Amino acid sequence: MTIRSEHRIVALIACVLVPLATCVFDRGAVGYTMYAGVTTYRLRVTASRNGAEMRVSCNDIARQIGGSAPLALVGADSWRPGRSTRALESHLDAVARGACVVTSAESVIVVLETPSSESARIHERCP
Amino acid sequence: MNRLAITRVLLGALFLFRTSALSHIARGIHAPVIGPLLGWPDHAPVHAVVGGLVLPSSIAAMLAIVRTLSALSFTIGYRVRASGVVAAGCGWIALAQDPFGFTFTLHVMLLAVAVHAFATKPSASSYTLARIFTASIYFWSAIPKLNVAWLSGDVLRAYHALGMGHSAFFLDAHASATAIATVVMELSLPALLLCRRTRTIAVIIACMMHTIVELFYHPDVFGWLMVVLLVPFWPSNEKLSPSASR
């Protein structure tokens, strides 16, 4: 196979380095993980105001966060399916800020649960 | 028109389709485009972004427009290298601004545009680059499937239970056989595609695999993308220079 040095560098980046680096996006798995897995998860969001605690609906939070966040948040009060919880784990702070907007609370606790364990938790003070 | 030019035109058209509101007409889009273009600002009070830097709405809108114009330029063949790299770069910025909308289908499509921006001249070297890239996608798609959950068929059964796959291929004992066959094909295709003697049969096998997957499960535009990326493997009588200059 004939390949120029410039093309060799592009091939090294696109065919080796980028796929190796994709572990950043999906639970440490190397390669393109599309459709290779499925999981279930649940979000428990609790807001505190004047010493009282209240549950916050994920559907209400979804309306406050931009982009595609509703894809992951709608219906997440109960166990729901998803291909990965990686984006949620990495952005629980945004979920907490969304809950702050919804409730005007002093602080918010967000817990992400998977069937096997509590995956991630964040305690955020509201501005 | 040579096979690389055909690939570029089809890839650019697919890119323009998938990163605009036009994609709403397709079935199985996993993270639909919000607004007229991917990455269009939505003025929500809270944003989740990679790296913590939320772009101002005007910048996000400008990047979406620049990306679309660059993709159009890439498609028609005007300043292909620069326009392909800019289109892919702006696409990755849009994905970083919306991590919940990240899908590997979009990521691989952006990567394909970036790679084909460098494989424009119909030289042997350009074809080798385009072919190695396509072969690598099959290889790297198989690696995450090498686990018990996939190979036992549990993942496919879960897709079926969720209404995401509607075929006997996803049920009972068939699920495990389908899962194993998928991995075997994805691991074999790189070698079969890169070997000249088996190239044609490999293209047929790959197209059949994508057709079957598309019929029973709609994996975003992944099947379309891969069929486009198989074009450089088509048999042809093109005369290639070993290493044409830019």
**pLDDT-above-70 percentage for chain B:** 94
pLDDT < 50 positions in chain A:
none
Q: Is it the case that residue B246 has pLDDT exceeding 50? A: no
Q: How far is B72 from chain A (nearest CA, A)?
A: 22
Residue range B213-232, pLDDT digits in tens:
888 777 889 999 999 999 99
Q: Is it the case that residue B179 has pLDDT exceeding 60? A: yes
User: Average pLDDT of B123-149?
Assistant: 94
What was the pLDDT predicted at B242? 63
Own/partner pairs, A91-95, CB within 8 angstroms, 24+ separation: A91/B48, A91/B99, A91/B100, A92/A120, A92/A121, A92/A122, A93/A122, A93/A124, A94/A65, A94/A69, A94/B46, A94/B47, A94/B48, A95/A43, A95/A45, A95/A61, A95/A65, A95/A69, A95/A122, A95/B48
> Residue B245 — very low, low, confident or very high, per pLDDT cuts 50/70/90?
very low
Q: How far is B191 from chain A (nearest CA, A)?
A: 13
User: Average pLDDT of B146-162?
Assistant: 85
**pLDDT-above-90 percentage for chain B:** 64
pTM recorded for the entire structure: 0.91
Q: Is it the case that residue B201 has pLDDT exceeding 90? A: yes
Of B102, B242, B243, the CB nearest to A87: B102
DSSP H or E run through B53: none
> Residue B239 — very low, low, confident or very high, per pLDDT cuts 50/70/90?
confident
Average of per-residue pLDDT values in chain B: 90
Q: Choose between A32 and B170: higher pLDDT.
A: A32
Of B32, B47, B133, the CB nearest to A66: B47
Any idea what the Cα angle at residue A124 is, between residues A118 and A127, rounded to 5°? Answer: 160
What was the pLDDT predicted at B29? 84
What was the pLDDT predicted at B167? 67
User: Average pLDDT of B52-79?
Assistant: 95
User: Average pLDDT of B144-151?
Assistant: 90
Task: Using an 8 Å CB-CB cutoff, list chain A residues near B219.
Answer: 34-35
